[in-house]
Amino acid sequence: MENEKKVLLSGIQPSGDLHLGNYLGAIRNWAQLSDQFDCYWFMADLHTITVRQVPAELRRRTLVQIATYIACGLDPDRNTIFVQSHVPAHAQLGWVLQCYTMFGELSRMTQFKDKSAKHADNINAGLFTYPSLMAADILLYQPDFVPVGADQKQHVEICRDIANRFNGVYGETFKIPEPYIPKAGARVMSLNQPGTKMSKSMPEGCVFLMEKPEDILRKFKRAVTDSDTVDPVRYDPENKPGVANLMQIYAAVTGRSYPQIEEEFSGQGYGAFKSAVGEAVVETLRPIREETERLLADKGYLETVYRAGAQRAEHIARRTLSKVYRKVGFLAP
């Protein structure tokens, strides 16, 4: 039917706690997407084990991530929220697609090079072939769009290449997804290394959604700026990257424009500005943290959410997997 919603899907690894960059750059915008799309959001726990994890911590972070998604406005009744490992079709299609992914394609993937350098003692096969699993994550649900940052388009491009290759051999099987790059989404940089994206791997420059207010304020007070003393708060990303990052964060959480921020802090030093940004972030995150904590106290409810999500996801994924199995020649079970 023409009036059916288009499908949109995305997953984030529960390999670390969600942070301000995740929220302002992506999650905050997701709540509105369910008005326009049929949305699938999953905890990509299968992908996390390419790097060694502490099992109890992985379970904890997965549950916290589900609770945080809901606290950020993702209504489970209007969004399919599930855990990747709860839908076996991800791993099953992942293997099939490995056989339609070229070695050269995998060796060119930026994430493989980066993680190999960081984890030289654990360059495993999963780290190399993860794009095939990522393609399966996407193609199982025949989505129209996959939300990605502008710097992550490579992941959708290899998925499209794999899907086109499979379709070329077996005929129309997979819908070819498009990257969905929101126009409004802050690209939040590290507070102490403003030339680098905010990342859980650099905790001192990263603000976590569940962090205590006093720790958030401390990090903002220590944020890197510069030695400018004449109207220092002005938006100049090239020459003042630290200040520009703080202004972008402040704009994102208050709705103020850069000229308004410059006027607000005219004649003031960095101390007052950094404190104001920190306090605005604390107040933005406070209701999310409190609601997440409330949800985590109700494990039964969270289990109901991820079980129902997995059942809905499994229904769609199984349909795609059955079609693929039939086309490659597997005997029907």
Tens-place pLDDT, residues 236-272: 999 999 999 999 999 999 999 999 999 999 988 899 9
Residues with Cβ within 8 Å of 219's Cβ and at least 6 positions away in sequence, in order, are: 191, 204, 205, 206, 207, 278
Sign for the pseudo-dihedral over CA of 297, 301, 302, 303: positive
Could you tell me where the beta strands, DSSP code E, fall in 74-203? Answer: 79-83, 145-147, 178-180
pLDDT given for residue 135 in this prediction: 96
Look up residue 148 and give its amino acid: V
> What is the second-level CATH architecture of the domain 6-186+298-328?
3-Layer(aba) Sandwich (3.40)
Break the chain into its structural domains and give their ranges. 6-186+298-328, 203-293
Q: Could you give the C-alpha distances from 325 to 168, 170, 258, in angstroms and in order?
A: 16, 11, 54
Separation of CA 221 from chain center: 27
The one catalytic residue among 5, 118, 197, 221: 197
pLDDT given for residue 45 in this prediction: 96
pLDDT given for residue 3 in this prediction: 52
The percent of residues above 70 in pLDDT, for the chain, comes to 96
pLDDT-derived band at 67, boundaries 50, 70, 90:
very high
Helix (H, G, I), strand (E, B), or coil: what is residue 98? helix
pTM given for the model: 0.88
The mean pLDDT value for 300-306 works out to 97
The percent of residues above 90 in pLDDT, for the chain, comes to 73
- Residue 197 annotated as catalytic: yes
C-alpha torsion angle, residues 119, 121, 126, 130 (rounded to 10) = 20
- Residue 200 annotated as catalytic: yes
Lowest mean pLDDT among 51-65, 82-96, 221-235, 272-286: 221-235
The one catalytic residue among 115, 219, 240, 274: 115
pLDDT-derived band at 2, boundaries 50, 70, 90:
very low
Is residue 331 over pLDDT 90?
yes
CATH number of 203-293: 1.10.240.10
- Which among 57, 40, 76, 14 is positioned nearest to 209, based on CA atoms? 14
The one catalytic residue among 5, 6, 153, 200: 200
